[in-house]
Amino acid sequence: TSTFLSQKPKSELVRTSLRLLTSSAYRLQSECKKTLPVETCPTTDIQLVTQQVIQCAYDIAKAAKQLVTITTKENNN
């Protein structure tokens, strides 16, 4: 674990971004599990699962970008 993530962030924006990153990662894992043969049932809508995976990946990228932007600004101050 990096030092940045092991410390309690002071900025509410950082905390919000980290919450989005964490929740999106858990959602991504959950959605991806639905595609595994053991988890898949005949009624699984793979197109819907694919859309959910894409949305989770987008949310992860968004949160990561927010963190980079915030930390870059903080480091420049």
Domain borders along the chain are 10-72
Name the pLDDT band for 11 (thresholds 50, 70, 90).
Answer: confident
21-55 pLDDT per residue, tens: 999 999 999 988 888 777 667 777 888 989 999 99
Q: Is the pLDDT of residue 72 over 90?
A: no
Structure tokens at 1: 């674990």
Query: What is 10-72's CATH number?
Result: 1.20.120.330
Burial label, 42 (beta-carbon count in 10 A; 0-12, 13-18, 19+): exposed
From the CB of residue 65, how many other CB atoms can be counted at a distance below 10 Å? 11
Burial label, 49 (beta-carbon count in 10 A; 0-12, 13-18, 19+): middle
57-68 pLDDT per residue, tens: 999 999 999 999
pTM of this structure: 0.71
Concatenating the DSSP letter of every residue in 24-43 gives HHHHHHHHHHTTSTTT--TT
